[in-house]
Amino acid sequence: MSRRIPAFAFLGAFLALSTLSASGQQPDVRIAGSASTKPLLTGLALAMKHDKGLRVAIDTDPTSLDALDALAQDKAGIALVTKPLTLEDRSQYPDLAFVTIPIGMEVVALGVSDDLWNAGLHTITREAMRGIYEHKITNWRDAGGPDEKVALFNFQEGQGVWEMFAEWLYGDNRKAPLPKVNKVASNEDARDALEFTPGSIAPIAVLFVDGARCHALGIELADRIARPTPEDVAAGIYPIVRPISAMVVGRPVLAIHTVTEFLTGPGGQALVKKSGALGLDAVPKPAPDSGY
């Protein structure tokens, strides 16, 4: 039988976390994360306080490399990063034994409104999506859909969803033009826009696409249709993804071990999914000779 946590318990935990630094209390563990992991970090800190009695301090850094640098400089015991750790990254810290603990996958879907889905628009090519993004395609009939005006919604440049979407479209999000589009501030806003705007499309975290208020398009590849499902993500087929990992130095022990163990367990996985990402079932399995 599940135990419901009273709202005042979360409020109390939040206030305790907010006053941790002001009171001079030392945290049991400090976690640095890239900006897109902020919802997960916040939920994790509250859960650790309520379930484990751990004082957790969180720092949101602009990028995964900033979070990794905080870990390397011993300003954090754990870094939540949303990029694979490359050999170049490791070479910046040759004396540190970084350990990568996969916890999930950020996945961006191409959500469309119910009217488009019901009209038979279920897939799209990258070329057509780029044409929509650049306002070269303004009617859905030119992208395999009905005779209806395109309404594109997008996140602010630099936000995680926008970065992943632009990276897929152009190979490097720095190459993406910045046309004027209808802006949304959150996945909830994107879902509302799709629900109430006919002819609309928006990049959106996959778990906010519910198949009722909005639907996820498949992406047409050369030999198949890639869909934002755990199966296609784990197989490396769906392209608009990036990993979420907990990075530590050496084998995790004490409070750090408690946090990483929680993240890979049922409670942590529920938080990963609540943040809009997919869990460990969507993480690609490493090659047998990868060394990991």
Tell me how far apart the alpha carbons of residues 235 and 132 are, in angstroms, rounded to a whole number. Answer: 28
Task: For the chain, give the DSSP string.
Answer: ---PPPHHHHHHHHHHHHTTTTTTPPPSEEEEEEGGGHHHHHHHHHHIIIII---EEEEEESSHHHHHHHHHTTS-SEEEESS---HHHHHTSTT--EEEEEEEEEEEEEEEEHHHHHTT--EE-HHHHHHHHTTS--BGGGGTS-S-B-EEEEEPTTSHHHHHHHHHHHSSGGG------EEESSHHHHHHHHHHSTTEEEEEEGGG--SSSEEEPEEE-SSSEE-SSHHHHHTT---SEEEEEEEEESS--HHHHHHHHHHHSHHHHHHHHHTT-B-GGGSPPPPTTS--
In a domain, 93, yes or no: yes
Picking from 8, 208, 183, the residue whose alpha carbon sits closest to that of residue 109 is: 208
Gyration radius (Cα) of the chain, Å: 20
In the predicted structure, residue 292 carries a pLDDT above the cut 70: no
Q: Are residues 43 and 87 in the same domain?
A: yes
Residue 63's pLDDT is 87
**Are 116 and 95 members of one domain?**
no
* Domain boundary residue, one of 216, 234, 252: 234
What is the spatial distance between Cα 213 and Cα 216, in angstroms, rounded to a whole number? 11
Both 25 and 97 in one domain: the answer is: yes
Q: Is residue 289 part of a domain?
A: no
**Domain boundaries, position 66:** 7-105+242-282
Predicted local distance difference test score (pLDDT) of residue 287? 58
The predicted pLDDT at position 211 comes to: 93
- Give the model's pLDDT for residue 288: 53
**Residue 159 and residue 79 in one domain:** no
Residue 131 has pLDDT above 70, yes or no: yes
Q: Do 173 and 67 share a structural domain?
A: no
- Domain match, 100 and 116 both: no
Q: What is the pLDDT of residue 24?
A: 59
218 and 113 housed in the same domain = yes
Do 133 and 183 fall into the same domain? yes
Q: What per-residue confidence (pLDDT) applies to 116?
A: 98
133 part of a folded domain: yes
**191-247: pLDDT as tens digits:** 999 999 999 999 999 999 999 999 999 999 999 999 999 999 999 999 999 999 999
Q: Is pLDDT at 14 greater than 60 in this prediction?
A: no
- On whether both 113 and 76 belong to a single domain, the answer is no
Residue 291 lies in a domain: no
Instruction: Kindly state the average pLDDT of the residues 91-108.
Output: 94
Task: Report the percent of the chain where pLDDT is more than 90.
Answer: 76
Q: With a cut of 60, say whether residue 18 has pLDDT above it.
A: no
pLDDT at 11: 42
Supply the pLDDT for residue 284.
Answer: 93
Query: What CATH number should be reported for the domain holding residue 223?
Result: 3.40.190.10
Please compute the mean of the pLDDT values over residues 276-285 and round it to a whole number: 94
Q: 207 and 180 share a domain?
A: yes
Average pLDDT over residues 122-144: 97
pLDDT score recorded for residue 187: 94
Task: Give the chain's domain count.
Answer: 2
Residues 227 and 113 occupy one common structural domain: yes
Instruction: Provide the pLDDT for residue 85.
Output: 83
Mean pLDDT over the full length of the chain: 89
Residue 1 in domain: no
Residue 292 within a domain:
no
Are residue 122 and residue 39 in the same domain, yes or no?
Answer: no
Give the separation between CA 77 and CA 249, rounded to whole angstroms.
8
Is the pLDDT at 23 greater than 60? The verdict is: no
155: in domain: yes
Q: Which two tokens stand for residue 93?
A: 């810290």
The mean pLDDT value for 165-182 works out to 91
